[in-house]
Amino acid sequence: MKKRVKLVLALAVIAVTSGVFIARERGKARSRTGYESNIREARITFEDFTATRYLAGSVTDVARAKSGYLLEPNMLELFGDVSVRTLRGKGHRQRWEKLYCETATAYFQSSNLAQMVTSSAVDHVDLRGFVKLESKGMTLESDSARYTNATGILQSESQVKVTGPGIYFRGEGGFSFDLRKENLNVLGPVKGGGNFEMP
């Protein structure tokens, strides 16, 4: 009999404690502000991310990363060994331009995820960590850069190192590289030159 009373008392204490805990959590939930639409949350997550663009049945762009996240309303974040290959030129002058970095965030001209995936164009892309561009025998390296799709310009205020056949120099003030016209502006002070290897 005493054992039954103790068991009933123990169960009653557990029930009351649980009820108090649930009531308190409900109260906290009511006092919280509602969901804010400007908080970006990952809606779709990819592992071993690969995206390919085709034009007239041929591959023109390939983007790869260890992981990718689509975020509302207009962002694609790529992490880990990000690489982008783009086919440049025409006919026998065609070549692959290669861009590498640790992380990249692409911003699309969209107001929601569905529009972003189906028809939206890229506005700009922020590149971070060991950014390296290989184009026409030249290699350009920096800590960070931004690519703006409307202008076709890759630019940065971070220090840049440019290497190629017989050239090696650094620009302390960053760079601006027009990928379409292949014009490179390196901001000074600039150190280095032809056939010169800096320590």
**Burial (0-12, 13-18, 19+ Cβ within 10 Å), 17:** exposed
Whole-number Å distance between alpha carbons of 131 and 168:
17
Q: Tokens at residue 168, please?
A: 């090696």
- The predicted model gives 110-139 an average pLDDT of 87
Instruction: Name residue, tokens 């290497």.
Output: 163
Which of 134-143, 178-187, 190-199 is the least confident region? 190-199
pTM given for the model? 0.72
| Alpha-carbon gap, residue 37 to 41, rounded angstroms | 10
Beta bridge partners of 53: 61
d(CA 152, CA 172): 22
Any idea which fold 42-194 has? lipopolysaccharide transport protein A fold (2.60.450)
pLDDT of residue 25: 54
Domain boundaries, the chain: 1-32, 42-194
